[in-house]
Chains A and B, each alone.
Chain A
């Protein structure tokens, strides 16, 4: 779809008008010394540049707690499956999170279609915005080829001065701005290119380096399956799952049934789960399949940069840096682990 240009003020006014009409617009806003996605009343609330939100936008497509169905047990059993969505505009989404969401789109649409996710996804409009400065010292999106989104957005905005340069990703996005969009001029494109060159240099300079080549990560992890690094890091792991909760591509969930006290009505819900949690692999007999903290840490890292990387031909770590920030003992950051594996491997 064709790129275009919109005047910043016009786009923000347009969105403010939509908010006024009752449209749910969600954007990153400041929360203490960090940020979070909140429903906004005005585009003035938006925090365009970092710090990163505590929770990624996946929560709007795959909520922390989601009722899948409700049932009633009388003489017969009545079941009502809940597949619901409501229109939301997610605004100011960073490229790492757009890429994370695009990966979830693939996962939830594979084999057994996840209706609950897909219905919500259908109603969500994603308006991304390009990061021109690193959002946090923990992020390393530039190393994970995630400074720009490949897919999964409706509109993607780049601040080129008075205007946004807009990449249009969908018809939904296109129609949203049809009344204010202008054709791009060679000078707009030139500005965009220059901004991106400066940004690349800045990110390259400021973000931590990934020592192995990105495409070599699956091999690095395969060959270091038995590295002592896993247990060394694991020794300081709380098994608190914070890394899983804040990750834009972690999608595991647990399903639980809750019966009301009248033993007639009940609900089945799913909850975010995480492979770092001790009981993630606990089965009915009480056995735990992945018992060591190091083994669980290895599993997460391997999922991001080996198993799913090979399967979907893209790293499942977008370099957002949230897990590295959330981890109190600083043991979980995939880039740190991979660099350490690489250093020792090379010796």
Chain B
């Protein structure tokens, strides 16, 4: 079998997902054995423009990004959104809910006019995305499994059920039921992380995106029962899922 050529690309992000790929350990050798990596800034200065599979990290946040991501789409047969920024707009989209002139001033000061920043968007707002590897940052095991599925031509398995499933499987005491309850977005958020945050006592903040049919009203009711305000609830949504209403 001919090895498919693969490129990794980054837009607005911390490149933590690509670093996760680099920290695969001995599994990284399996990756090298299965594909030819022609473009991977975090690992190599070589910049090949001939690739079939593009792993795209980061959100679209300048008009130049739009052109560049479209070029990648035109070259690649398969585009994979890598991580929460590419998938959901990520934490970058928090600024979409603030006044843009304030945000620009705060970030760039009097040089703001030099930067053509636009509202942060997930890549599927601009191009067709074939597969998504969610989470902030991505999960190593899931990256390997999804990549293997793509190579096999099989639809990758990404759970459509919420984090509560994996949290219960772990035998965790529900964060809402602890002596000092913690509000958690687990009931709305797509599983696959193994309930990483609730398992160490932190609230799920929804970095894997929402399940296809989240019961938002039930969750908001629960949070109000625990004494949280509308503002608190919006903060939860805006962390990773502010764009859920405008996403396809």
Which A residues have a C-beta under 8 Å from some C-beta of B? 31-34, 36-37, 53-55, 59, 64-65, 235-242, 245-246, 256, 258-263, 272, 274, 277-279, 282, 293, 325-326, 328-329
Contacts and interface: CB of A to CB of B under 8 A. Distances in A.
A260 B30 contact: yes
Given A59-B171, A240-B161, A240-B164, 5 more contacts: A33-B173, A238-B219, A260-B30, A277-B160, A277-B161
A261 B187 contact: no
A69 B95 CA distance: 48
Contacts of B145: 258
Interface string B20-37: 000000010011011000
B63 interface: no
B231 to A, nearest CB: 21
Given A54-B171, A238-B187, A259-B148, A293 B27 contact: no
A242 B144 contact: no
| Most A CB within 10 A of own CB, among B145, B174, B179 | B174
A168 to B, nearest CB: 30
B132 to A, nearest CB: 16
B148 A54 contact: no
A238 B168 contact: no
B188 interface: yes
Contacts of A54: 168, 171-173
A52 to B, nearest CB: 11
B164 to A, nearest CB: 4
Interface string B170-182: 1111101111000
Contacts, number: 116
A258 B158 CA distance: 12
Contacts of B246: none
Given A261-B144, A293-B215, A278 B160 contact: yes
A203 to B, nearest CB: 24
Given A235-B218, A293-B215, A242 B30 contact: no
Contact of A32 (B144, B173, B219): B173
A263 B176 CA distance: 42
A33 B172 CA distance: 11
Interface residues of B, number: 42
23 contacts: A34-B173, A54-B168, A55-B168, A235-B218, A237-B218, A238-B162, A238-B215, A239-B215, A240-B187, A241-B168, A245-B164, A245-B165, A245-B168, A261-B27, A261-B30, A263-B151, A272-B169, A277-B160, A278-B160, A278-B211, A278-B213, A328-B222, A329-B222
B218 A260 contact: no
Contact of A261 (B1, B34, B165, B218): B34
A262 to B, nearest CB: 5
B82 to A, nearest CB: 16
Interface string B102-114: 0000000000000
Nearest to A258: B145
B30 A262 contact: yes
B218 A277 contact: no
A241 B173 contact: no
A236 B218 contact: yes
Nearest to B164: A240
4 A-B pairs closest in CB distance = A245-B168, A240-B164, A238-B187, A64-B169
B157 interface: yes
A230 to B, nearest CB: 15
A338 B50 CA distance: 63
Given A278-B161, A326-B174, A263 B34 contact: yes
A267 B213 CA distance: 30
Contact of A279 (B161, B164, B187, B218): B161
B33 A33 contact: no
B42 to A, nearest CB: 19
Contacts of A34: 173, 177
A260 B148 contact: yes
B34 A55 contact: no
Contacts of B219: 238
